[in-house]
Amino acid sequence: MTTFKFDKSISEIEDPELLPKDWYKMRISTKPEIQENSKKTGQNLFLRLKVVMPEEEMFDGRELPLWLSMPTEEDETRYDSKGAKVSDSKMKRIVQFAECSGGAADEDEFDISEGSTVYCYVDKRLDQGGQDMENSINIFSGFKSEDDLLEDDAPVDPEDA
């Protein structure tokens, strides 16, 4: 039998602490790329995002993956519950992410830059094994730029209400 040694005692293993549900500033930490989805039925725009919270060491730099579905030919003939083409819904989500992260979208192209920041809504869900809770980015909440977030937090003038 071979014995190995850790740098700390097993009794010092800490339980994880999830981010509370909320909007978080996140930095695109790797080059965005298009990957085949797990079912091999289409492609996803794949991004790795890191939480930007220098004042909270426990949460700062925590990495969350983000997969945004790319539209397929089949999506052109399918409609979502709101009556929009599935392909259009997917495109709108990607365009919103690109624009909120400082990128651009025009005609049939969009760009997203590694190192850019965007605000995402972080949620909690069961992991794929169905055993433990984990954080994930809720794509259906949309994405926000810093300006969008400031507008949402601005006080409402009673005369405008």
| pLDDT digit string, tens, across residues 116-129 | 999 999 999 999 88
Residue 68: strand, helix, or coil: strand
> What is the chain's alpha carbon radius of gyration, rounded to the nearest angstrom?
19
Per-residue confidence (pLDDT) for residue 155, from 0 to 100: 65
Give CA–CA dist 131/97, Å, rounded. 30
Please give the distance of CA 45 from its chain centroid, rounded to a whole number: 11
What's the pLDDT at 17? 94
Q: What pLDDT, on the 0 to 100 scale, is given for residue 11?
A: 96
Segment (H or E) for 44: strand 43-51
pLDDT on residue 152: 76
Say what the pTM is.
0.87
The residues that bridge with 79 in the sheet, in sequence order, are 85
Residue at 147: amino acid letter: D
SS3 143: strand
Main-chain dihedrals φ then ψ at residue 59, nearest 5 degrees: -105, -25
Q: What's residue 154's pLDDT?
A: 64
Give the pLDDT confidence score for residue 153 in this predicted structure: 72
pLDDT less than 50: residues of the chain? none
pLDDT at 84: 94
List all residues 6 or more positions away from 56 whose beta carbon is below 8 Å from its beta carbon: none
pLDDT of residue 158: 55
Please tell me the distance from the alpha carbon of residue 114 to that of residue 28, in angstroms, as a whole number: 5
> Quick one: pLDDT at residue 59?
95
